[in-house]
Chain A
Amino acid sequence: MLLIKCPYCQEDRPEIEFSYSGEAHIARPLNPDDLSDEEWAEYLFIRSNRRGLHHERWLHAHGCARFFNALRDTVSDKFELTYKMGEPKAQVKK
């Protein structure tokens, strides 16, 4: 079982407490009326589907019930880091 660090609880917790909620840092357009159908569809459905490091949202559903962001490697499944909602997009330090 994977352990995921919740940035609110500040603890490593078992993965079954969490649920995945898609790619992170996708801002809702401020004026949806101004968008063409293609642009709106792009916002709704098109995701980067990255192989490798991926920014994604997670929900600590059976814990503190907070959403947070994570940077996870989709190949190895390793969580590089997790950070609170509202914090800037995290990068891995090489």
Chain B
Amino acid sequence: MLSELKIDQAVELAPILTGEVDLLPVQTRYSLRVKPKERCAFIEASNIDLPAQIGKMSVQYDRVVLCIGPDEYILICSLAEREPLARKFEELMGKYIFSATDISHRNVSFILSGEQTTNMINVGCPLDLSLENFPVGKCTRTIFESAEIILFRMGKTKFQLETWRSFAPFIVGYFEKYCLQNRGK
């Protein structure tokens, strides 16, 4: 049995961010490591769709799996799935070569949306976020003003940004500054 997750996400959003930045409620997150040659067998056994290529993501129901390294995946889903997943991984342990680490408590997620989203992210992140270079469904680990983030695009003007809980207030500070300076322009 897993203990119940009671997490203070340790970040508050100023009213100025309403509609542009939203904090996701507590999520289940797993860090998965599966070697490329084990990938197909693992997918079949677990029914978790691991993308084949770095930078790609897969969506099943409300479950998102990001491929951020040659053998590294981040699985994000609702809290209700936490226990079934833990049981599933326990079952598969020993039969397949993989590692699964519960990192639900480590991150917080922000949903960024609106016309200004790419500009707001570019305040602290130098990636080219044009649709050609960063299409819907692309994900990556990168850096936002010296804090490590995982960024993925869910729609033309909708991104999800994952970061460590302790970095969150720092990053939100940049969003607030951006909104204060650019409101009404």
User: Which residues does chain B contribute within 8 Å of A13, judged by CB atoms?
Assistant: 127, 142
User: Which residues does chain A contribute within 8 Å of B126, judged by CB atoms?
Assistant: 1, 14, 16
| Identity of the chain A residue whose Cβ is nearest the Cβ of B143 in the assembled complex | A62
CA–CA, A88 and B69, complex, Å: 22
Q: Is B20 an interface residue (CB 8 A)?
A: no
Tell me whether A17 and B142 are in contact in the complex, defined as CB-CB below 8 angstroms, given that A64-B69, A65-B69, A66-B70 are known contacts. Answer: yes
Q: Is B140 an interface residue (CB 8 A)?
A: yes
Counting residue pairs across A and B whose Cβ atoms lie within 8 Å, the total is 37
Chain A interface residue count, Cβ-Cβ cutoff 8 angstroms: 14
**Chain B residues packing against A (C-beta within 8 Å):** 54-55, 68-70, 72, 126-127, 140-143, 148
User: Which residues does chain A contribute within 8 Å of B68, judged by CB atoms?
Assistant: 63-64
Q: For window 3-58 of chain A, which residues contact chain B by CB distance below 8 Å?
A: 8-11, 13-14, 16-17
A63 touches B140 (CB 8 A): yes
Judged by DSSP, the binding face of A is loop
B143 touches A17 (CB 8 A): yes
A63 touches B70 (CB 8 A): no
Query: Least Cβ distance of A24 to chain B in Å?
Result: 19
User: Which residues does chain A contribute within 8 Å of B143, judged by CB atoms?
Assistant: 14, 16-17, 62
B69 touches A62 (CB 8 A): no
- Identify which of B127, B141, B148 contacts A64 (C-beta below 8 A): B141
Tell me whether A8 and B70 are in contact in the complex, defined as CB-CB below 8 angstroms, given that A16-B143, A63-B140 are known contacts. Answer: yes
- Identify which of B55, B72, B142 contacts A62 (C-beta below 8 A): B142
User: Which residues does chain B contribute within 8 Å of A62, judged by CB atoms?
Assistant: 141-143, 148
Query: Least Cβ distance of A58 to chain B in Å?
Result: 15
CA–CA, A10 and B54, complex, Å: 9
User: Which residues does chain A contribute within 8 Å of B141, judged by CB atoms?
Assistant: 62-65
